[in-house]
Amino acid sequence: MISNKVTFPPLKIEEIINFSDYPITDLSQKKSIDLINNCRQQLQEQGCCILSNFLTTQGLFNAQEESKKLAPAAYYAKRRTNAFKTDDNPSLPLDHPVRFFMERTNAFVPQNKFAPDSLFLNLYHAKIFQQFIATCLKTKVIYEYDDPLAGMVLNILPPGCQHPWHYDENDFSIVLMIQPALDGGIFEYARNIRTPNNENFPLVSKVLSETYEGTKKVNLQPGDLQIFYGKSSLHRVTKTIGDRQRHTAIFSYTRKNNVIGKITDTKLLFGQTTSEHEQK
C-alpha cells in the first residue's frame, strides 16, 4: 500500500530505488554486472542510457509530491538563446547557427530550495547511487557539485514551454522523469555533434533546421532514469502541450572535485548567486 506521508518519516534509500530491478548495493553480483554492461553498451551505442522504473512505487509517489511542492519555487527567466548560450555575432552570415535564436521558457528550482529531508537530496548524496553511475561511466569516482544551487535541480516546464537546443557544461547528466507533459515535452538529442576541437557548425545547422536524420527522441515515463552525454550531444525538450507541467529532476556530478558554476551562468539560470560563487 502506498503511504501519502511525504516528509515524515523520510524514505530510506532502499525504499526509493527499485532494488529488485536495479540491485546496485553489491556491484560484484552477476545481475549487477549484466546491468552495468547493458548500461555501458547503451551509452556507447546511443550516447544515452535509459533505466526504466528506477524508483519504487512509493519512491515515485513521494518524489512527485515533493516536486509538486517545490515547483512554485522555480526561477523563470524567459529569454532568447542560441545553442551555444552566446551573444549574437552580426559579423557571421544570417544562416550561421550562432545566429539562430530560440525561446527558453523552462525554469529551474535550485538546490537551496530543497528541504534537508528531501528525497531528491537523499538520492543525490547516496554513495551507492554515485558508485553505480560512476561504474556505468567507467569512472572510478564522481563528485557532487560544490555549488549550493546547481548540483541537484528540478527542471519545470509549464504548458506551452520549451527548453531549446543546447549543450550542457557537464559532460554527463543524470535525469529522472517525475511527471511528463500531457503531450509534447519530448527529450530529443543528436549525439556526438561536437568535439572539444570542432564545433561542427554544418551538422548543428542540420539539427536546428530539423533535417538531421540522427536526431533521436526519448519518451521517458515517470520514474525512469536517463544517463546522457550532454556536452557533446545537442539536445532539447520540445514544447509542452496540454494542461500539465513537465517535471524532471537533474542530478549533476563531475569527474573533478570542487566544481562550481560560473557567476554569469548561475545568474541566468537561477536569478541569484551565493558567496561560494563570488569567492571562486
Ligand X SMILES: O=C(O)CCC(=O)C(=O)O
Binding site for ligand X (CB under 6 A): 155, 163, 168, 175, 187, 235, 237, 248, 250
Nearer to Fe ion, 59 or 110 (CB): 110
Closest distance to Fe ion from the beta carbon of 173 (Å): 6
CB of 163 to ligand X, least distance (A): 6
- Answer yes or no: are the C-beta atoms of 253 and 144 closer than 8 Å: yes
70 CB burial (10 A radius; 0-12, 13-18, 19+): buried
Query: Which C-beta is closer to ligand X: that of 67 or that of 130?
Result: 67
**237 contact choice in Fe ion, ligand X, none (CB below 5 to 8 Å, kind-dependent):** ligand X
Based on the shown chain and the rule CB under 5 A, indicate whether residue 168 belongs to the binding site for Fe ion: yes
Q: Which does 250 bind (CB under 5 to 8 A by kind): ligand X, Fe ion, none?
A: ligand X
**Of Fe ion, ligand X, none, which one does residue 247 interact with (CB within 5 to 8 Å by kind)?**
none
Closest residue (Cβ) to ligand X? 248
Q: Which does 118 bind (CB under 5 to 8 A by kind): ligand X, Fe ion, none?
A: none
Quote the least distance from Cβ 219 to ligand X, whole Å.
11
CB of 94 to Fe ion, least distance (A): 26
User: Under 8 Å CB-to-CB from 235, ≥6 apart: which residues?
Assistant: 165, 166, 167, 168, 187, 188, 189, 190, 228
Please state at what angle helix 127-136 crosses helix 30-46, rounded to 10 degrees: 50
Closest CA to 189 of 229, 159, 224: 229
Scanning 4-12, 147-155, 162-170, 241-249 for contacts with Fe ion by CB under 5 A, the matching segment is 162-170
- Count Cβ atoms below 10 Å from residue 255 Cβ, excluding itself: 15
Of 13 and 153, which has the nearer Cβ to ligand X?
153
Least distance between Fe ion and beta carbon 189 (Å): 9
Q: What is the DSSP string of 191-222?
A: TT--BTTB--HHHHHHHHTT--TT-EEE-PPT
Q: Are 73 and 171 in contact (CB under 8 A)?
A: no
What gap in Å lies between CA 240 and CA 1, rounded to an integer? Answer: 32
Can you tell me the distance from the alpha carbon of 28 to that of 14, in angstroms, rounded to the nearest whole number?
18
Query: Which of residues 7 and 242 has its CB atom nearest to ligand X in the complex?
Result: 242
Q: Which residue has the cell 552525454?
A: 229
Q: Per-residue x/- marks for Fe ion, 209-238, CB under 5 A?
A: ---------------------x--------
248 binds, among ligand X, Fe ion, none (CB under 5 to 8 A by kind): ligand X
Shortest Å, Cβ 241 to Fe ion: 21
The rounded distance, in Å, linking the Cα atoms of 64 and 75 is 19
Whichever of 155 and 245 has its CB closer to ligand X, that residue is: 155
Contact flag: residue 276 with Fe ion (CB under 5 A): no
CB 55, min distance to Fe ion, A? 21
Q: Quote the CA–CA distance of 212 and 214 in Å, as a whole number.
A: 6
